[in-house]
Amino acid sequence: MAPRHQKGGDGGEVDLEGDIEAPLLSSGSSFFQDAAHEDGEGDEEQRRRRRRFLLAGCSQSNTTSQVALVGADVCPIESLDYELIENDVFKQDWRARGRAHILRYVAIKWALCFLVGALAAAAGFVANLGVENVAGAKFVVTSNLMLAGRYGSAFAVFLVSNFGLTMFAAVLTVYVSPAAAGSGIPEVKAYLNGVDAPNIFSLKTLLVKLVGCIAAVSSSLHVGKAGPLVHTGACIASILGQGGSSKYHMTCKWLRYFKNDRDRRDLVTCGAGAGIAAAFRAPVGGVLFALETVSSWWRSALLWRAFFTTAMVAVVLRALIDFCKSDRCGLFGKGGLIMFDVTSDYITYHLVDLPPVITLGVFGGILGSFYNFFLDKVLRLYNLINEKGKTYKLLLAAVVTICTSCCLFGLPWIASCKPCPSDTEEACPSIGRSGNFKKFQCAMNEYNDLASLFFNTNDDTIRNLYSAGTDDEFHISSILVFFVASYFLGIFSYGLALPSGLFVPVILTGAAYGRLVGMLIGFQSTLDHGLFAVLGSAALLGGSMRMTVSLCVVILELTNNLLMLPLVMLVLLISKTVADAFNADVYDLLVKLKGFPYLEGHVEPYMRQLSVSDVVTGPLQTFSGIEKVGHIVHVLRTTGHNGFPVVDEPPFLHSPVLYGLILRAHLLVLLRNKDFFQNCTASAQDASKHFSPDDFAKRGSGKHDRIEEIEFSAEEMEMFVDLHPFTNTSPYTVVETMSLAKAHVLFRQVGLRHLLVLPKSSERAPVVGILTRHDFMPQHILGLHPFLFKTRWKKVRFGKSALSNLF
Amino acid sequence: MAPRHQKGGDGGEVDLEGDIEAPLLSSGSSFFQDAAHEDGEGDEEQRRRRRRFLLAGCSQSNTTSQVALVGADVCPIESLDYELIENDVFKQDWRARGRAHILRYVAIKWALCFLVGALAAAAGFVANLGVENVAGAKFVVTSNLMLAGRYGSAFAVFLVSNFGLTMFAAVLTVYVSPAAAGSGIPEVKAYLNGVDAPNIFSLKTLLVKLVGCIAAVSSSLHVGKAGPLVHTGACIASILGQGGSSKYHMTCKWLRYFKNDRDRRDLVTCGAGAGIAAAFRAPVGGVLFALETVSSWWRSALLWRAFFTTAMVAVVLRALIDFCKSDRCGLFGKGGLIMFDVTSDYITYHLVDLPPVITLGVFGGILGSFYNFFLDKVLRLYNLINEKGKTYKLLLAAVVTICTSCCLFGLPWIASCKPCPSDTEEACPSIGRSGNFKKFQCAMNEYNDLASLFFNTNDDTIRNLYSAGTDDEFHISSILVFFVASYFLGIFSYGLALPSGLFVPVILTGAAYGRLVGMLIGFQSTLDHGLFAVLGSAALLGGSMRMTVSLCVVILELTNNLLMLPLVMLVLLISKTVADAFNADVYDLLVKLKGFPYLEGHVEPYMRQLSVSDVVTGPLQTFSGIEKVGHIVHVLRTTGHNGFPVVDEPPFLHSPVLYGLILRAHLLVLLRNKDFFQNCTASAQDASKHFSPDDFAKRGSGKHDRIEEIEFSAEEMEMFVDLHPFTNTSPYTVVETMSLAKAHVLFRQVGLRHLLVLPKSSERAPVVGILTRHDFMPQHILGLHPFLFKTRWKKVRFGKSALSNLF
C-alpha cells in the first residue's frame, strides 16, 4: 500500500487522469485531491516537487504514469484506447455498415494518407525555404560587411540576428505552445506506444513547431529540422484524423469513423514517416524510420499505406522544387534540401580499407554513447533551470545563442589562411552565401577553411564535408576544432525551449569526425575523405540513435549512392553494438527523462518471478449492470480511473458474474444524456437507441470530458441507468496466477489499456483487479517488491541491451 | 458436431497430428484412426480423396489443419510452440542462468546469424556459378553449331541437354525430396506463421533444392532461382538452429538454448531474408522481403539481426565475386549475378511521362492478377496429374521441357533478320554466349532480335531488355511474341515437381511488357525503353506478388539507381491496387492451394458476430494434477491432441481448479523416463530434479515422438505421475463470452498454439475448451455456422482486400 499513498501524495494531477488499476476506497486519494484543489499554491508546489523528483533521476515510486514532461512543461497524461470496445452500440453500428460504407471508409483512409503526405511535403518545403532565405539573407549581409573589412559590424549583425531569431523561437514556444519544444520524436514515439499527452498534436503546436523550427535553425544554433518535421508530420496526421476542429465547427461527418485511437495511430505513424521523408527526401528511409524507431505496433497493411504516404511526399517535394528551379524562391535552390550527391561515380573498396572503417565504427560508437551521456546530464541541468519559470527558459536560450554566435564567429580567427587551390572549378574565395571557400578575414586568393565549416548553414557545411576530391581542402587542426566545437554545441543546443532536432547536429559532427579519422588513419586506404565523412556520420548516428536499417537507407538516399551500402551497414552495425554496451539510445533516454510510461516490447527477467496477483492491489471499484446514478457520479468524482468492471449481481443472478468493462468516457456520455429511469429492473435493451455511435467517438489527443462539467439534480442522483448496452462485453482477461511476464506480452502485443484479472478459485468475486500500463512499469513493480531491486535489478540494468535480445 | 465427424472420416492422418481443441470422448475419432491403421490401402485411398478434395477447391469442412500439400506431396502437419512454457522446470532453468550464460547465448545468436548469412551467400553464389556454367556451356555448343549452319544438330543438342537437365532435377525432387518442389516461399511463409510441415527444412531438401534449382534454371525452363534461394536460406537457418543433426551425433551442447520454436523462427526469418539478398544482391530488399512477405511476427531486435545477416550476405558475395574476377570460375563473371545497372546517368521525368507510366501500372495490375488466376488453374490441373503417381510427375516435366525447348528454338525463326546498327560498341552479331545481338540463322552483319530474347539465359535476356539506348534494337512484333510466350511459359513451368522460383519469370515477362508499352504509347515520353522495361517488371511483380516496399527496394538495388524511386513506387502502388480488386496475391493463393492453415493477421467481419463458445466444442479431455499413467497412455493413444488442461480436483481441493496446460511432447518425455510412484498423494515436488531442461528441448521441424514407441508394463500402467512440475501454469485464457474476433487477435498477436476457454459462470468446470489454430480457420467456422456463409460470406470474399485494410 505504501507506494499508492506516495502516489496520492505526489500528484495533485490525479484528478485529471487515471489509469489506476484498482481504485482504492476513495478516502485516501480524494483527501489529497481535495487538498490540492483547495490550495492552488500547494498544487503548484507539489507539481514543482514532482518535477524535481522526476528530473533528479529518482524514479522508484509509482509516478511515471501520472505526469510527464511534454516539451518543456509537466503535463498530466493518459493512455490511449486501441482496443475495439465491443459493446451493443458498436455491434449495431458495425452490422449497419454496408459495402458502400466500407468502400467509403477505405477511400477516405487513402485520401487522408495522400493529404498527410502532401501536407508533410509542403511543411518540409516551407521549412527549407524559410531557413534558406532567412539564414541566407543573414549570411549575405554578414559576408558583405566582412568583404568590406567591417568585422565589428559583421559580428554585430550576426550576433543580433541570431539572438533575435532564437528569442523569437523561444518566446513563441514558451508562451504559445510549450509542447513544441524539443524534437518531438519522443512524444510521437510515446503516443504510438499508447501514451496520450495533451496538446502534443494541436494546431497551435503544429504552427509553433514549424515557424519556431525555421527561426531556430536559421539562427545558426546547432539544431536540426528533421525531428521537428517528424512531429509536424504527426501533427498534420492527427489533426486530419480528428476530422477538423470541432471548436470551429469544421468537423466533417464522413470522418466520424476515424474518431478512434486505432485509426489515429495508423495515420500518425504514416505522418511520422512522412516527416523523415520530407526532411531527407528519403521515402523508403521514412517508412523504415516509422517502422523501426517510432511505432510500437505494425501491420503489413500499414507498411503499404506508410509507403504510399512517403511516395506522395517524394512526388510533391519534387514538384515544389521544380517550381523553384528558375529562382522563384529567393535564395532557395542553390543550397536546397539536404541532398548530398556523393559524386565519385564508382566507389571501390578493398580489404585495406576495412581497418580504418572498423576503427571509425568503434570510436563512433563510443562517441555516440558519450553524446547520449552528456546530453542526459545537460538536459537534467537545463530542466532544473527551466522549471524556475518562463524567464529562466528565455535566459537560457539567450545565453546559448550568444555563446554559439561567439564560437561560430570567433573560432575561424584561429585558423591560418590557405591559398586557393589552382585546379578547382568553384570560385575561390567564394563570395556570397554558399561555397566551400569562405574568404572571412583572409586576403584575396586565400580562404579560411575553418570559416567554410563554421560560417555556413549546417546543410552547406555537411555538403562541404561530404564533397569528394577535397582531401587537401581542410587542415587537420581545423577539422579537429570544428569537430570538438560542433560536438558540444549540438549537446548544449538541444533542450532549449524551442523546436530542435537531433539528426542534423549528429550528422554534422559525425561528418567532421569521419574526415578526422580519414586524415589520421586513412592514408593507406583508397577511400576519399568525403566518403569517410559520410561513414563518420553513419557511425555517430548509429552510436547515438541506434537505428540500423532506417539510418542505412536514409544515408543511401541522402547520398544517392547504393554502392556504399556494405560499408555503411558495417559501420552502423559496429557503432551500434559498441554503443549498446554503454547506454540506451537517445530516444529511449529522452522518453525516460520525460517520464512517459513507455511500455517496452520485451519482458524484463524479474517479471517471470512474479504473478499478476503480485502487482494488483485491491479492493476494486465495480458497477452493477444497472447502477444508481448517484453512485456512478460519486465514483467518477472521487477517483481518476478510466475503466470499471461491470458485474451482474445476485438479485438477478445466482452469483455475481462479470459482464464486461465500461470506460469513464462512455459513462460520461451516458450521464450527460441523462437517459435514466426510476427503478432498478432491467430496461428493455433499447437504451442504445437513444445514442448514435458518434456520441461515443473518441475526442482528439489530450482532450477529455470531465465529470465536474455535468450538473445533476438530487432526483437524478437517485435514478438508475442501464450500463449493459455500453459495456464492452469482450474485455481481455488473465487469471491471477498468470506470470506477469506473460500478462505483459498480452498487454503489449494486443495494445491494451485495461486488462481484467480473474480469480483463480471460483469462490471469490468474479474479478479481482485491473492491470493498466502503469502496473507494468519497472518502477511500480520494484517499488512493490524491493527484494527484486536488490537481487536482480542491477544485473538487469547492466545486461539490458543484451537481455532485450533474449525475448 | 457434424464437421468434427467429417474430419474424423476424412483423414487417417489424424493419428500423426492434432491441434484439435476439444478432445471428444474418444470413441468416434479413435474408430476412424484404428480403421486407418488396420488398412494401409484404405489410408492411401483416403489420402488421395482428401487431396482431390483439397484441390477441387471444396474447402468447407474442417480439414485444413490436418494435412497440406508440401512440395508435391501431401503431408500431415502440426503447429509450432512459440509460447514460452512456464513450468517449474523452465523456471528453475531460468533462475540458474547467470550473466555469462546470457552473454554466451547472445554471442551464439549472432554467430548463427553470421553463419546463416555466409552460407546463404555461398549457396547463392554456387547457384549462379552452376547456372552460368551449365547453361553457358550449353549455349556455347549450340551457338557454335548454329554458326556452322548445322541447325538440326544445334536443336538436338539444345533439346537433349534441356531434357536431361529437367529430368535430372525432376527425378531428384520426386525420388529424394518431394518437399523441394516449387519455390518454397509458401512453405517458409506458413512455417513463420506457426505451421510445421515435416521435411521442409531437412538437409536432404536443402541439397535437392540447390542442385535441382541449378539444373532446372540451366535447362532454359522459365523458372527462377530467387524462391529456391529463399527456401535454401531458411533451410540453412533451421538446420543450424537445430544444432546439427542428432542422428549423426553432431549436436552441440551450447546450442541447446536454441532448441525451441521461438529462436528457430527468428533464425528462419533471417535466413529467408538472406535468400533474397543472395538472389538479387539486395541486402535491404532482403530484410524488407522477410518483414513484408514471409514473416508473421516481427520485433525491432529481429530487424537488426536480419539486417546483420543480409549485410553478411553482401560482404561474402562480394568477396566471392572478387575471387572470380580473373576468369577462375569458368563461364561465370560475364553474365554474373542478376545486377542490372541502368546506365543512364541521370533520369529526368516530367508530367508528360505520367500517362504512359500510369497506364503501365494499370495494365500491369490486370496482367498480374490474370497471371495469378491462370497459375491457380494450371496448378490445380497439374496437381490432378501429379497425384496419379511419380511417373506422371516426371512425364509432365518432360512434356513441359520439350514444349519449352521447341518454343525457344522455334519462335526466333519467325523473326526477320535486322542489320547491325553501325554505332554500337558491342560486337554485332555477338558470337558466343552472351550479348545483345544473336546471329542465329542470320547472315553476318545481321542479327535476330527475337533470338536475342529467347536464345539466352533468363538473366541475360533481362539485362538486354533493361539496357538503355537500345530503343531501336528490337522490333515491336518480336517483343510482343516474346511477351506472350514468356507469360505462358512462366505459368506452365511453375508447379512441376522441381525447384522453381516465380520472381525471375515475372521480372522477365514484365520487362517485355514494359518495352511493349514503351513502344506503343511511349512516343511522347522522354523515358528510355530500358527504363520502361524496369517499370514493366515492377508493374507485373506488383500485380502478381503485391509486395510494395520490398519490391521497390529490390528493384532499386537491382538497377542501382535511386532516382527511379518515385516512378517505381507509383507503378507498384497502382498495379497492386488494381490487382487487389481482382484476386489475392500469388503466395496467399499458393498457401491456400496447398492447404496450410495460415492464420491471417486481420479479423474477418463475421467473427465479430460469434463468441468463443460458438466454435468450441466439448467435452474436453483433462488430466488431474496427479494422474494415473494408464489414463494418460490411453488418452495419448486414442487422441491426437497436443495440449491437455491439468485440473486439480476435489480430493485435494474444495472445487476443481485449473492448474495449467501440459503438452503432449512433455507428457511423452515424462512417460519415457518412467519416474512414476505408487500412490496418488502429492509428490515432494522434486520430480523435476530427475529431468534436465534438455529433455524438454523441442525437436527439429516436423519430427515428433510417438506414444506407440514407448512400452509399458501392466504394473507401470497402474502407477501415478505428478504432472505439476511440467505443467505450464500460465496458459493464456479467454472467457467463453469473448467475441471470436478478439480471441483471434490475442491468438495471432501473441502467437499461441492453445488458448484455454474459461466458463462465464463460476458454477461450471474450471475450463470448458481449448481453441487452436484450426478453430479460427474460416472453413471451420463457416462449417459450424452455415448461416454466416449465406449472409456475410459472399460480401466478405468480395471485399476481402478492402476489408483487410479495416483492421
Q: Quick check: A86 and B746 CB within 8 A?
A: no
Map residue B544 onto helix, strand or coil.
helix
- Using CB atoms and an 8 Å cut-off, which of residues 290-349 of chain A contact chain B? 291-292, 298-301, 303-305, 307-308, 311, 314-315, 318
Q: Are strands A657-663 and A733-735 parallel, antiparallel or unpaired?
A: unpaired
Which of B34-43, B70-79, B386-395, B569-578 has the weakest average pLDDT? B34-43
- Contact residues, chain B, for A549 at CB < 8 Å: 284, 287, 303-304, 307
* CA distances for A741 relative to A62, A197, A607, angstroms: 19, 27, 5
Per DSSP, A762 falls in state T
Give the span between the Cα atoms of B210 and B217, in whole angstroms: 11
Give which of B565, B580, B588 to mutate to test A binding, by max A Cβ within 10 Å.
B565
Containing H/E element for A631? helix A629-638
Q: Quick check: A553 and B283 CB within 8 A?
A: no
Tens digits of residue pLDDT in A535-566: 999 999 999 998 888 888 888 877 777 677 77
Give the span between the Cα atoms of A550 and B763, in whole angstroms: 54
A701: region left, alpha or beta (phi > 0 left; psi from -120 to 50 alpha): beta
Please tell me the predicted confidence (pLDDT) of residue A8. Answer: 32
Give the span between the Cα atoms of B491 and A680, in whole angstroms: 69
For chain A, what is the largest distance between any 2 Cα atoms, rounded to a whole number of angstroms? 98
pLDDT of B477 > 70? The answer is yes
Q: Does B625 touch chain A (CB under 8 A)?
A: no
What's chain A's average pLDDT? 80
Give the span between the Cα atoms of A22 and A35, in whole angstroms: 22
Q: How far is A307 from chain B (nearest CA, A)?
A: 7
Q: Quick check: A284 and B805 CB within 8 A?
A: no
Please tell me the predicted confidence (pLDDT) of residue A725. Answer: 86
Containing H/E element for B407? helix B390-410
Q: Does A565 touch chain B (CB under 8 A)?
A: yes
Map residue B298 onto helix, strand or coil.
coil
- Contact residues, chain B, for A565 at CB < 8 Å: 283-284, 314, 557
Most confident among A73-87, A158-172, A742-756, B747-761 (mean pLDDT): A158-172
- Contact residues, chain B, for A311 at CB < 8 Å: 566, 569-570, 573
CA angle, corner B410, sides to B406 and B415, nearest 5? Answer: 155
Give the span between the Cα atoms of B50 and B72, in whole angstroms: 14
Give the span between the Cα atoms of A441 and A421, in whole angstroms: 18
Tens digits of residue pLDDT in A6-32: 333 333 333 333 333 333 323 333 333
Please tell me the predicted confidence (pLDDT) of residue A21. Answer: 35
Please tell me the predicted confidence (pLDDT) of residue A538. Answer: 94
Backbone angles phi, psi at A756, to 5 degrees: -75, 145
Neighbours of B582 (CB within 10 A): 15
Contact call for residues A7 and A63 (beta carbons, < 8 A): yes
Higher-scoring residue by pLDDT: B597, B559: B597
Give which of B549, B570, B754 to mutate to test A binding, by max A Cβ within 10 Å.
B549
Give the span between the Cα atoms of B92 and A220, in whole angstroms: 58
Please tell me the predicted confidence (pLDDT) of residue B621. Answer: 87
Most confident among A77-91, A323-337, B120-134 (mean pLDDT): B120-134
pLDDT of A125 > 70? The answer is yes
Contact call for residues B541 and B369 (beta carbons, < 8 A): no
- Contact residues, chain A, for B733 at CB < 8 Å: 733-735, 738, 758
Give which of B307, B578, B795 to mutate to test A binding, by max A Cβ within 10 Å.
B307
Length of chain B: 807
Q: Which residues contact B628 (CB under 8 A, 6 or more apart)?
A: B680, B717, B718, B719, B720
Give the span between the Cα atoms of A724 and A685, in whole angstroms: 8
Give the span between the Cα atoms of B37 and B23, in whole angstroms: 20
Q: Which residues contact B218 (CB under 8 A, 6 or more apart)?
A: B130, B131, B134, B135, B138, B165
Contact call for residues B255 and B243 (beta carbons, < 8 A): yes
Most confident among A419-433, A574-588, B51-65, B433-447 (mean pLDDT): A574-588
- Contact residues, chain B, for A601 at CB < 8 Å: 299-300
Confidence of residue B683 (pLDDT cuts 50, 70, 90): low
Q: Quick check: A292 and B298 CB within 8 A?
A: no
Per DSSP, A757 falls in state E
Q: How far is B749 from chain A (nearest CA, A)?
A: 6
Residue A453 grid coordinates: 565549416
Confidence of residue A448 (pLDDT cuts 50, 70, 90): confident
Q: How far is B797 from chain A (nearest CA, A)?
A: 12
* Residue whose grid cell is 549570411: A139
Q: Which residue of A has its CA nearest to B560?
A: A562
- Contact residues, chain B, for A730 at CB < 8 Å: 611, 737-739, 742
* A:B CB pairs within 8 Å: 210
Q: Hey, what amino acid is at A437?
A: F
In percent, the amount of chain A with pLDDT more than 70 equals 81
- Contact residues, chain A, for B103 at CB < 8 Å: 799, 802
Over residues B600-612, mean pLDDT: 84
Q: Looking at B698-767, list the stretches that DSSP marks H as alpha helix, in order from N- to C-terminal side.
A: 714-717, 740-750
- Contact residues, chain A, for B561 at CB < 8 Å: 562
Q: Which residues contact B134 (CB under 8 A, 6 or more apart)?
A: B165, B214, B215, B218
Q: Quick check: A562 and B566 CB within 8 A?
A: no
Q: Taking the model in full, what pTM does it have?
A: 0.86
- Strand positions, DSSP E, A501-562: none
Most confident among A17-21, A242-246, B198-202, B761-765 (mean pLDDT): B198-202
Q: How far is B185 from chain A (nearest CA, A)?
A: 17
Tens digits of residue pLDDT in A310-320: 988 988 888 88
Residue A161 grid coordinates: 540576428
Q: Which residues contact A462 (CB under 8 A, 6 or more apart)?
A: A338, A340, A504, A507, A508, A511, A537
**Distance in angstroms between the alpha carbons of the first and the last residue of chain B:** 31
Containing H/E element for B771? strand B769-772
Higher-scoring residue by pLDDT: A129, A699: A129
